[in-house]
Amino acid sequence: MRGDEAKQVCPQIQLVKVPVARGKADLNTYRNAGSEVVSVLARKGRCERASIDEVYLDLTDAAETMLAENPPESLEVIDEEAVKSHILGLNNEDGNDAKENVREWLCRSDADRRDKLLACGALIVAELRMQVLRETEFTCSAGVAHNKMLAKHASAMNKPAQQTVVPFSSVKGLLESLPIKKMKQLGGKLGTALQSDLGVNTVGDLLQFSEEKLQEHYGINTGTWLWNIARGISREEVQGRLLPKSHGSGKTFPGPRALKTISSVQHWLNELCEELGERLRSDLDQNKRIAHTLTLHARAYKSNDSDSHKKFPSKSCPLRYGTVKIQEDALNLFQAGLREYVGSYKSKTQGSQYNGWGITSLSVSASKIVAIPSGTSSIMKYFHGQYSSNSLSKQSQDNFIHDAAPLSPSGSESYSDLILTEPQIEFHGEETKIKYDVTSLDEQEDKKNIWKEQDPSCLSPQRMQNGIIQETPQSLPSGICLGGASGLEIISQSEQQREIPEEEPGVKYSVPSFDQVVQKRNTSKEKGATSILRFFKSCDPSCSSRKQEHVEAVQNVEAASSVGFQSTSSIRSDPNQVEPKEIVLEVTGTNSSRSSSAHIEQQREAWGYKVDEIDPSVVDELPPDIQEEVRAWIRPHKRPNVVKRGSSIAHYFLPAKNR
DNA sequence: ACGGTTGATACA
DNA sequence: TTGTATCAA
């Protein structure tokens, strides 16, 4: 119901509007409210912030621990919230108390192990949802299942403020009647194509088609994906990422409001860039992250032209910090795009004259955000027993940024002694690989076998999966302070506090990247014998099987698309008000998709591992005090694009042919 | 149901 | 690397 209709029917209604700042909707209240909820939900497992109000959680480990130590069947009281769960496929047979049925299901001692894990997940999620309510005053809904896809669908089934569990045996029934367009990722053109090409109307209809057939129609990747999702198989990992990967600010100018002059475009770009600049500043202050690319998007119409269908091209350039610089660069990007859009024709009409074009939307965004390396070299201290974190001085850092060229010999001695000599690293184009000198081939075989023991059903039985929590603020939140920063963030603050001028930090914040450190290491002669693998082996031979599993995961380079391990976050803020619209928070656990043992051989040769694709869970095996630092190493690191190409920013705004 | 403001990802 | 297209909340 629209607002004015509601007013008619219900004159006393209090309607809350989305806040407006700089002439446009301002969503910061919602972003901050989401962060608050995330900081609660991220406590119990790997957490992925999937959108402004949804998260996925991988609760596998927590559920396994509970199953081993405090299984539901051993409890005399089951959480009141947990017994309110909806269990798909659990029929409320004869007038039995529904809650009693749920309690029974949760505690079944003869259940499939997979369902026992789900039961543990349901208990954990119920507890998390109550914590969210207590600490933030937001409610949320959740889905608990064996992968992200199933949890996502389950989370939407009972809201608000309820949770739904998808037992293993209910997967088939859930999917076969699900309309194809309701499936995530199939709500658009692909779903429509499925309907018209193959007459598929429910997910179940997909089962009739072979994987090959689906690949013929939709390509190898999409074909396989379709074949899998029809069977409830999804190996998408829960990405350990609590922070967004980009920031943007935009506005539309529909119909008659289209912008027709450069100066009105400049005005709005200035507003948008101001907001973007503020958010970049907050990200830098709160999360110690720096964005490296500025992109401008616009939509335009051109009446009066042969190809009036042409789209306004998006343009990007290196991002220079400082609101004014961002504004200048954005305007230049716009003008570069406009020249391309209008083509090279004369009409250089002035002022309010008719230009032949109109801008119907403008947005600026900042991407390629990288964390300033947080730790110093505590891991080296750990390994070598002596290294002062101060030796990575500002000066050495500056040395890092002036040349991006590999193997530059400059300034290496000042810190060569603090470089770990162990893993040998090679550069192959863009990829950084670590070469271990590994154990024996026999051991490798063992690892492989362990891997194979996993359930082939691919429903990833060993990993409990997802829950989705969706959320409904029923009262206005009062902004309870959660103490935002996690342990990691505190570390980063204490170890590398730097002053950041209000305007123009610039490249100065470039700090040695992993690659660069590695590069220095390569130039030094030292050869070492320490590697993370070796560390694993040396620390506890008795639990080798688990470690080997991790090692195997490391081998499976192809499978896990590199997880960007953005450790912490938790932006503290106070969302003063959120309108009583429903907020959707999804919690999901995912299966461990260290999948596809198919491609091992390719990587077997030379035992080269791509740093970017190392399974972050190996880090869990390290001592807590160095985990975060290792994560920072494993985290995909873009080399700051210092200089290179035309040294001037103007390069980006010239016509392409002149480059 | 629909539009506005986001954000992620795959692919060229 | 830059830019486009698609999908989603």
The two three-digit tokens of residue A300, written as one number: 């335009």
pLDDT at A348 (0 to 100): 56
- The residue ranking higher by pLDDT, A104 or A479, is A104
Question: If you count them, how many residues does chain A have?
Answer: 659
Mean pLDDT for chain A overall: 65
A627 contacts A621 by C-beta, under 8 angstroms = no
* Bases of strand C lying below 7 A from some protein CB: 1-9
A652 contacts A631 by C-beta, under 8 angstroms = no
The owner of tokens 């390629």 is: A368
Q: Is the CB of A250 under 7 A from strand B?
A: yes
pLDDT at A344 (0 to 100): 64
Q: Delimit the CATH 3.30.1490.100 region(s) of chain A.
A: 247-372
Q: Delimit the CATH 3.30.70.270 region(s) of chain A.
A: 25-229
For the CA of A455 and the C1' of C7, the distance in angstroms is 32
Q: What is the pLDDT of residues A541-591, one digit of tens each?
A: 333 333 333 322 222 222 222 222 222 222 222 323 222 223 233 333 333
User: Which residue has its C-alpha nearest to nucleotide C3's C1'?
Assistant: A314
Average pLDDT, integer, range A73-101: 89
Active site positions of A, annotated: 54
The owner of tokens 């349901």 is: A122
The owner of tokens 């769960």 is: A85
Q: What is d(CA A293, CA A364) in angstroms, rounded to the nearest whole number?
A: 10
pLDDT at A470 (0 to 100): 42
Q: What is d(CA A368, CA A95) in angstroms, rounded to the nearest whole number?
A: 57
β pairing state of A289-302 and A315-318 = antiparallel
Q: What is the pLDDT of residues A461-496, one digit of tens each?
A: 334 434 444 443 332 222 222 222 222 221 222 222
For the CA of A34 and the C1' of C9, the distance in angstroms is 13
Q: Is the CB of A185 under 7 A from strand B?
A: no
Looking at residue A472, its amino acid is T
- In Å, the largest CA–CA distance within chain A is 83
Q: What CATH topology corresponds to A25-229?
A: Alpha-Beta Plaits (3.30.70)
Q: A61: exposed, middle or buried (C-beta count within 10 Å: 0-12, 13-18, 19+)?
A: middle
Q: What is d(CA A228, CA A51) in angstroms, rounded to the nearest whole number?
A: 24
Q: Which CATH class is domain A247-372?
A: alpha beta
Q: What is d(CA A494, CA A472) in angstroms, rounded to the nearest whole number?
A: 37
- Residue A415's closest CA among A394, A385, A431, A432? A394
User: Which residue has its C-alpha nearest to nucleotide B5's C1'?
Assistant: A250
Q: Is the CB of A52 under 7 A from strand B?
A: yes
Residue ranges of the alpha helices (H) in A137-251? Answer: 148-155, 171-176, 189-198, 211-218, 220-229
Q: What is d(CA A187, CA A193) in angstroms, rounded to the nearest whole number?
A: 11
For the CA of A629 and the C1' of B6, the distance in angstroms is 32
For the CA of A532 and the C1' of C3, the distance in angstroms is 39
The two three-digit tokens of residue A163, written as one number: 């949770």
* Nucleotide with the nearest C1' to A244 CA: B7
